[in-house]
Amino acid sequence: RWFTHFYVVSVLWNGFLLIRLFQAEFLGESLPSWIQHMHHALGRDSQSEDMGNEHFSALLVLLLLWLHSCRRLAECLWTSVFSSGVIHIVQYCFGLGYYIAVGSTVLCQVPTNVKNGKEFSVQICWYHIVGVVMYIWASLHQHRCLVILANLRKSRSGKVVSLSHSVPFGDWFESVSCPHYFAELLIYVSMAITLGIHNVTWWCVVMYVLFNQALAAVLCHEFYQKNFSSYPKHRKAFIPLV
């Protein structure tokens, strides 16, 4: 239930970064000094020419990240039915820091001294289209899977009747135990593609998401197998066929 706090922070923080980057690119305003200091510490302001289409790519990924946070916040508030489970304080603090850091990571992919008075130009590349399509596809499936999980605890009228665990069926649940975790990984991969595929920093973020979601999925998969004797044996934990 307290995961809701993560998405509140993400919506506010990444929304703020999105607005500031939009103002910098389209209105010619300067980024805040603390962002420029962060760029300087990472060596990003030492570049003198545009590396491909980094400005538009970063703006697009920051928008996708913000939209993802908005959807997840809405699902936490109005879709999901949470049990009485608790979260460790260390995990809670780390989660808050993560959603602040991940948006800042996107922003730091944009060199601050590249424009040099030039007008911002939008150049849509093939990887933008592929990344956005993959993002929409994975987001739709994640939402469907979260609705399936929520409906296990609701009556047909939509009233919550139980907080116990049940075996989900439908959509990607037919292949894996935790398709919503798999969809989360695909969403971050889609952002890596949108950034142009070559961005090593964001692929490090993807690797973190992979290991984090895989661990959670394996634990959940083992829970299902232990508590439900008739649990489908063909289902994998996290990635289909793996």
Mark residue 197 as left, alpha or beta (left: phi above 0; alpha: psi -120 to 50; beta: remaining).
left
What pLDDT does residue 7 have? 98
> Percentage of the chain with pLDDT > 90?
71
User: What does each C-alpha distance from 209 to 36, 128, 166, 181 come to in angstroms?
Assistant: 27, 21, 26, 9
What pLDDT does residue 112 have? 61
User: What does the block give as tokens for 121?
Assistant: 């130009």
Give the pLDDT confidence of 171-224 residue by residue, as tens digits. 999 999 999 999 999 999 999 999 999 899 999 999 999 999 999 999 999 999
pLDDT band, residue 55 (cuts 50/70/90): confident
Q: Can you tell me the mean pLDDT for 33-41?
A: 73
3-state SS string for the chain: CCHHHHHHHHHHHHHHHHHHHHHHHHCCCCCCHHHHHHHHHHCHHHCCCCCCCHHHHHHHHHHHHHHHHHHHHHHHHHCCCCCCCCCCHHHHHHHHHHHHHHHHHHHCCCCCCCCCCCCCCCCCCHHHHHHHHHHHHHHHHHHHHHHHHHHCCECCCCCECCCCCCCCCCHHHHCECCHHHHHHHHHHHHHHHHCCCCCHHHHHHHHHHHHHHHHHHHHHHHHHHHHCCCCCCCCECCCCCC
What pLDDT does residue 43 have? 59
Give the pLDDT confidence of 70-117 residue by residue, as tens digits. 999 999 999 999 988 899 999 999 999 999 999 988 988 876 654 444
Whole-number average pLDDT of the chain: 89
